[in-house]
Amino acid sequence: MPTVLIRLEGPMQAWGLSGRGTNSAHRATQPRPTKSGVIGLVANALGRDWADDITDLASLRFGVRVDRPGELESDYHTTGTGDFPLLPGDIYAHPGWARKAKTYSPGEPFSAPYVAPADVDYDANGVLTAKPGLTVITRDWYLADASFLAALCGDHAITGPIADALAAPARTLYLGRRAYLPSQPLLAGHHDAALSEALTCAPAAERTKQESLDAWIEPEKPSGAVQTIHDQPISYNGPTSRGARLEQHTRIPVAVELDRFYSPDRELNPEVTP
């Protein structure tokens, strides 16, 4: 069966298997792309909406090869605390600011002091501060400078449109989170080769240092050491719904000779000559 290859590379990327942690304060990332994340990316490239059926996409076998694992980093933020110059509504009670507010045109800069949110009050010293317990700390984990090669294998009636959509996506695509944009073209090939063979023969990313690469493949016929992972996409309508699937770890040597593989351009455009 044909396999479409997807290059997932960028300064930052994140792939989750669960929502935020306690108080929505933490977002974790898996050390490699998830099937649910990649299928979501593909559905977005195809122009599908959240509520659209993804049964055909979820039926594809999935694999991912780690060319560069990247570095695990975190983005740390705090919000909801500090001192504030005004309470909400005070701007209208203050004669000077009230006059400015009346002449304000939406969309233009307004040189008023920061107007605090409603959850502030005067402390014992008469200073406006955030009410106790309102400070929110968030920490978003992500992979920096990582590069992966994902693969989806199935009927050509599905992989063909996916390859075309990755070359010319219906929407802007991102690597797990909206701020994390890819730095390389997503379409890395569309080949008439099995999942394992496609991942084995595809060239490695630049700056790949290992002589052999880790890969996790969804087995067609499970045998040997396999593990169950809660990563089978079911629906993106509302909270993402996932089921269980199997995956198998393997080591893949870095490819050297690729003569018998088509380039993405050659396959998508038959007029391109070797």
* pLDDT (0 to 100) of residue 224: 78
Q: Which residues of the chain have pLDDT under 70?
A: 19-25, 80-94, 97-98, 100-102, 104-121, 128-135, 255-274
Taking only the tens place, the pLDDT of each residue in 243-253 is: 999 999 999 98
* pLDDT (0 to 100) of residue 89: 63
Q: Is 176:16 a contact under the CB 8 Å cutoff?
A: yes
CA distance 94 to 242: 54
The two three-digit tokens of residue 30, written as one number: 């898996």
Across 136-154, b (16+ Cβ under 10 Å) vs e yields eebebebbebbbbbbbbbb
Q: Where are the domains of the chain?
A: 3-76+138-268, 81-134
* pLDDT (0 to 100) of residue 26: 79
DSSP the chain: --EEEEEEEEEEE---SS---GGG-EE---SS--HHHHHHHHHHHTT--TTS--HHHHTSEEEEEEEE--EEEEEEEEES-SB-SB-TTHHHHSHHHHHHHHT--TTS---PPPBPPSSEEE-TTS-EEEPTT--EEEEEEEEEEEEEEEEEES-HHHHHHHHHHHHS-SS---SSSTT---SS-SEEEEESS-HHHHHHHSPPPTT---SEEEEEE--SS--SS-EEEEEEEEE-SSSPEEEEEEEEEEEEEPP---TTSPPHHHHH-TT---
CA distance 102 to 141: 44
* pLDDT (0 to 100) of residue 4: 97
pTM summary value: 0.76
Q: Is 17:231 a contact under the CB 8 Å cutoff?
A: yes
CA distance 172 to 143: 20
* pLDDT (0 to 100) of residue 76: 85
* pLDDT (0 to 100) of residue 168: 97
CATH number for the domain whose boundaries are 3-76+138-268: 3.30.70.2660
Instruction: Give the C-alpha distances (Å, rounded to integers) separating 237 from 50, 96, 125.
Output: 5, 49, 49
Residues 6+ positions from 150 with CB-CB distance below 8 Å: 5, 6, 8, 33, 38, 62, 63, 64, 65
* pLDDT (0 to 100) of residue 267: 46
